Amino acid sequence: MPSVVKNITVDSADPWQLAQFWSEVTGQPVDEADKPGDPEVGVRLATGACLLFIAVPETKTIKNRLHLCLQPDVPRDEEVERLLKLGATLHSDLRHEDGTGWAVLQDPEGNEFCVLRSAAEKA
């Protein structure tokens, strides 16, 4: 039987704060048992996997070796603007005039993630 991804773990300076950001990104709540100051804070995704934020003493210093790619249910550019208002920053704009491409953003702790075109835009 193959393995199933249960958690996607993210090292974090402040798990509670980063979980709040990703809760807004995904529309999923922070686990009700988790509180500010906890060393682990989770956001259960609709797929069943959990984004798990773990406190670590060191800061991020290099590019992620693994990142999330998000496909919004609204137009990509609209989602990029929403995420920027939530506290993300634009890292690399790889969107093209013909509508293809993606945007690379960073969460409040500098972790890169991509925003792809919506399914409607791809169709």
Structure tokens at 30: 């922070």
Pick from 57, 85, 104: which residue ends a domain?
A: 57
Question: What is the tally of structural domains in the chain?
Answer: 2
Pair (73, 117) in one structural domain: yes
Which residue segment(s) compose the domain that 113 sits in? 67-123
- Confidence tier at 3 by pLDDT (50, 70, 90): very high
Residues 77 and 119 in one domain: yes
Same domain, 9 and 52: yes
Asked whether residue 62 is assigned to any structural domain, the reply reads: no
Same domain? For 89 and 52 the reply is no
- Same domain, residue pair 89 and 43: no
Instruction: Report if residue 112 sits inside a domain.
Output: yes
Can you give the pLDDT at residue 63?
A: 87
Q: What is the pLDDT of residue 48?
A: 93
In a domain, 98, yes or no: yes
Per DSSP bridges, beta strands 7-12 and 40-44 are unpaired
Say if residue 79 is in the same domain as residue 119.
yes
Structure confidence at residue 18 (pLDDT):
98
Q: Is the pTM of this model over 0.75?
A: yes
Whether residues 84 and 109 share a domain: the answer is yes
26 and 72 in a single domain? The answer is no
The answer to whether 81 and 75 are in contact (CB under 8 A) is no
pLDDT tens digit sequence for 82-115: 999 999 999 999 999 999 999 999 999 999 999 9
The yes-or-no verdict on residue 80 having pLDDT over 90 is yes
CB 53 within 8 A of CB 12: yes
Summarize the confidence of residues 57-68 as an average pLDDT. 90
Q: Where are the beta strands (DSSP E) in the chain?
A: 7-12, 40-44, 50-55, 68-70, 89-95, 101-106, 112-115
* Per-residue pLDDT tens over the stretch 22-54: 999 999 999 999 999 999 999 999 999 999 999
pLDDT at position 104 is 98
- What is the reported pLDDT for 1? 80
